[in-house]
């Protein structure tokens, strides 16, 4: 504080909380709870866990983080039962930096061949203070592979086979949305159509 160019008072306490402004930042890493990776299975119930790393928060204050699943292709929210798939977590950080998990449990049966990205928003006193919404961030991305098969008899080249003592069947598997460089295992099982009992034969790759 000055008067006529003369300093009358100063306040320069680096530890004064009333003078301190925080700029929160968040980053996230999403994984499937079963595979512990960013590869999931499009089935009726799955659980995804998005670990949110934060810094620049005020310790011992209440925050809420909200996650939304986004279809990478359409850039629109993923829906289950006609509603966007979201999840929330409230927490009070003991330190200004740390992590918190946001858990999604939902019906993913419609996501075969899809790729989804987790968007996160951090709120303090109902005001958004940080977001992480990078559609290209691999750490936020979950892949849902899809396979289709066409089985034929090796001798006839068709879906019809003679009931011989020994025969060879070939199942052509088409896949999509796999991650290049990852190792996968493909297992095939022959089923008895009438009745639908497990066949004695099993083919493995």
| pLDDT digit string, tens, across residues 71-80 | 999 999 999 9
Question: What local confidence, expressed as pLDDT, does residue 162 receive?
Answer: 83
pLDDT greater than 70 at residue 111 = yes
Point out the domain boundary residue: 91, 123, 143. 143
End-to-end CA distance of the chain: 79
Same domain for 189 and 126: no
Question: What local confidence, expressed as pLDDT, does residue 192 receive?
Answer: 74
- Please count the structural domains in the chain: 2
Bridge-partner residues for 117, per DSSP? 70, 141
Same domain for 194 and 170: yes
pLDDT greater than 70 at residue 38 = yes
Same domain for 128 and 29: yes
pLDDT greater than 70 at residue 197 = no
Same domain for 121 and 49: yes
- 196: pLDDT confidence band, cut at 50, 70 and 90? low
- The residue among 198 and 74 whose pLDDT is bigger is 74
Same domain for 176 and 139: no
Same domain for 127 and 43: yes
Same domain for 168 and 81: no
Q: 164 is in which domain, residue-wise?
A: 146-204
Range in 12-21, 37-46, 104-113, 145-154 with the lowest mean pLDDT? 12-21
Same domain for 137 and 45: yes
Point out the domain boundary residue: 119, 143, 167. 143
- 205: pLDDT confidence band, cut at 50, 70 and 90? very low
Same domain for 154 and 134: no
Residue 9 belongs to some domain of the structure: no
Same domain for 175 and 81: no
Residue 169 belongs to some domain of the structure: yes
Residue 6 belongs to some domain of the structure: no
Same domain for 115 and 155: no
- Domain with residue 40: its CATH number is 2.60.40.3930
- 13: pLDDT confidence band, cut at 50, 70 and 90? low
Q: Give the start-end residues of each E strand in 4-155.
A: 6-7, 25-32, 46-55, 63-71, 79-80, 83-84, 86-91, 98-106, 115-124, 127-132, 141-143, 146-153
- 150's tokens: 């066409």
pLDDT greater than 80 at residue 11 = no
Residue 5 belongs to some domain of the structure: no
Residue 40 belongs to some domain of the structure: yes
Summarised one tens digit per residue, pLDDT across range 54-100 is 999 999 999 999 999 999 999 999 999 999 999 999 999 999 999 99
Residue 2 belongs to some domain of the structure: no
**pTM of the predicted protein model:** 0.80
Residue 100 belongs to some domain of the structure: yes
Give the mean pLDDT of 166-172: 89
Angstrom distance (rounded) from CA 144 to CA 146: 7
Point out the domain boundary residue: 124, 143, 162. 143
């Amino acid at each position: 504080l000055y008067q006529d160019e003369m300093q009358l008072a100063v306040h320069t306490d680096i530890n004064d909380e009333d003078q301190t402004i925080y700029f929160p930042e968040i980053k996230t890493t999403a994984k499937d709870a079963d595979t512990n990776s960013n590869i999931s299975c499009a089935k009726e119930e799955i659980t995804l866990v998005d670990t949110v790393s934060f810094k620049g928060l005020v310790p011992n204050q209440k925050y809420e983080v909200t996650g939304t699943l986004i279809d990478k292709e359409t850039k629109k929210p993923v829906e289950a039962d006609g509603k966007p798939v979201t999840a929330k977590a409230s927490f009070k950080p003991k330190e200004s930096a740390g992590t918190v998990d946001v858990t999604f449990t939902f019906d993913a049966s419609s996501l075969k061949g899809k790729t989804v990205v987790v968007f996160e928003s951090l709120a303090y006193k109902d005001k958004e203070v940080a977001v992480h919404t990078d559609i290209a961030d691999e750490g936020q991305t979950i892949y849902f592979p899809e396979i289709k098969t066409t089985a034929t008899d090796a001798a006839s080249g068709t879906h019809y086979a003679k009931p011989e003592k020994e025969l060879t069947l070939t199942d052509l598997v088409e896949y999509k949305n796999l991650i290049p460089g990852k190792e996968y295992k493909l297992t095939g099982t022959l089923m008895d159509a009438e009745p639908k009992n497990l066949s004695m034969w099993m083919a493995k790759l």
